[in-house]
Structure 1
Amino acid sequence: MTSSAEQPGADGIQIRDVQPQDRAAWERLYRQYAEFYKEPMNENILARTWSWLLDARHPLQGKVATTADGALLGLAHYRPFPEPLLGKEAGFLDDLFVSPEQRGSGLGRRLIEAVAQAGKEQGWPFLRWITAADNAQARRLYDGLAQATAWVTYDLNLEKGTRGV
């Protein structure tokens, strides 16, 4: 995990690394994130993901947006990945979620900027992420921060079998 944290803004909100005391609030937000993407969520997934976030030896890292009294308003999960064509590790933003009542407040941007700063500190040449094509609100934010790529993403399901494999 990185140790960087932004100073609280005028609104009293701080972006910082996830901490052990965040578990219950993080879980509420992460369940909402999974529900938004219509992904199943259960205690095993939550426990494993949380353990990864707190394990300094695991590549997954996390940032949260918190109020002065410690309430969580948003989260970001990210990790390094090898970029063979550059011979370097780059960054991948796996999950970004801001509570619905905070959308449009700039928290998503602040979370991405905090992850980007952590990536700079780790020597990453870029930060990459994907989103659903119909996630218009998020895409407005992303279009203002980063360059959309021409790459098309595929998932080969290794658990259910595939056609022709």
Structure 2
Amino acid sequence: MQITIRTPHAADRPAWDRLYAGYAVFYRTEQSADMRDTVWAWLLDPDHPLEALVAESEDGGLVGLAHYRPYPRPLHAAWCGYLDDLFVDPDYRGTGAADALLARLREIARERDWPIVRWTTADDNYRARGKYDQVATRTSWITYDMPSA
């Protein structure tokens, strides 16, 4: 299957919305339409640091997404990339869409002189971890979330 990776256009909103809602369901995260409105607005705002890639199948439908952003890595005095979200429609897993999204993100990192792209995933996300083990190095870091309230 031919997969094309590109940036999203305004007309992609319904397809992106379906994919991003699916991503939230996968991670058992409550997400409202208003929340997706906010993220979509960020993605279309050239002044917002969050950017996106979408995977388009040969029939023109969106089958995957990746959201990423720059982040400073002070200990290394460098800007790097952070992959916040990567999702491929379950019907299109194994088609190369995830490979293509990650390959394009690697190209973007090279273009921007980011020495690494970092991301996290759930410990039990075995299928994704199998893919990630092919393209990246698992670190020994443990992630914590501190609530602000």
TM-score range, shorter chain: over 0.9
2:3–2:100 contact (8 Å) kept in structure 1? no
* In 1: Cα distance, 2:6 partner to 2:110 partner: 16
Find the residue that maps to 2:76 and give its secondary structure.
coil
Selected match of 1:35 from 22, 25, 28 = 25
Moved over 4 A (4+): none
Deviations 1:97-145 (A, max 9, x none): 0000111222111111111111211111100000000000000000011
Higher relative contact order (CA 8 A, sep 6+): 2
Structure 1 vs Structure 2: percent identity of aligned residues? 46
Q: RMSD between aligned alpha carbons?
A: 1.0
Amino acid at match of 1:22: D
Structure 1: state its 5+ residue gaps: 1-10
Structure of larger gyration radius: 1
Selected match of 2:141 from 145, 151, 156 = 151
Pairing 1:16–2:10 present: no
* In 2: Cα distance, 1:143 partner to 1:64 partner: 22
Counterpart residue number, 1:108: 98
- Count matched residues: 149
Structure 1 length-normalised TM = 0.87
Structure 2 length-normalised TM = 0.96
Find the residue that maps to 1:89 and give its secondary structure.
strand
